[in-house]
Amino acid sequence: MGEPPASDRIATLYSAETISDRVDALARGIAACDLREPLIVAVLKGSFIFAADLIRALHRQGLEPEIDFIFLASYGTGTTGGTVEILRDVESAIEGRDVVIVDDILDSGRTLLFAKERLAARGARSVRACVLLDKKARRLESVTADFTGFECPNRFVVGYGMDIANRYRELPFIGVIETDD
């Protein structure tokens, strides 16, 4: 009980406590921006746990953010391919609002760039991005996050909402799957 399946050993990269402290710090940073009618847009699926913790941390900072979701799928990899498709769009009114996109990982940057451009095109007053992990080494698009949890090594991570083949989202920590070689 409480252990991952025996087939995989998962080494902790960021513990639940480390994540929690960092989420509080991110919330303080966001609160300091004095956002007008803040709208948090969480990018599904990977950011759902991060977003849930972040909005409660924002509440502790005295904010009353609205939360909505955009479900994006990114297809294709490499320097030439790669398109982002909207599986579910934001329903909230966006015009004139200060939007904060929340995503799990900033990797190639395609997903975040797409989301930023889309929300700006829909009339947001400002669009900021808050990502839990930044894999700087993998960037293909020129896009940055305004708030970053951790600069992450170039490893495939799971846990805290993030999956591999739909597994491990439930882990309270962020880890890497250990291989035997």
| Active-site amino acid positions | 107
107 makes contact with ligand 5GP (CB under 6 A): yes
Q: Is residue 144 within the footprint of ligand 5GP (CB under 6 A)? A: no
Query: Residue 149 CB, nearest distance to ligand 5GP (Å)?
Result: 13
Dihedral pair phi/psi, residue 30, rounded to 5°: -70, -40
Window of 11-19, 34-42, 62-70, 102-110 that interacts with ligand 5GP by CB under 6 A: 102-110
Check if the beta carbon of residue 64 is closer than 8 Å to that of residue 5.
no
- Which tokens sit at 102? 């929340």
Q: Is 148 one of the binding residues for ligand 5GP (CB under 6 A)?
A: no
Stretch that binds ligand 5GP, among 9-17, 29-37, 57-65, 97-105 (CB under 6 A): 97-105
Cis peptide before 116 (omega within 30 of 0): no
CA torsion 122-124-126-127 (nearest 10°) is -50
Packed helices 48-60 and 16-31: angle between N→C axes, nearest 10 degrees: 60
Residue 150 Cα distances to 15, 109, 142, angstroms: 12, 16, 19
Q: Please tell me whether residue 159 binds Mg ion under the rule CB under 5 A.
A: no
Query: Does 46 interact with Mg ion (rule: CB under 5 A)?
Result: yes
Which of 157, 171, 174, 177 binds ligand 5GP (CB under 6 A)? It is 157
Q: Which residues sit at the interface with ligand 5GP, rule CB under 6 A?
A: 46, 74, 103-112, 156-158, 162-164
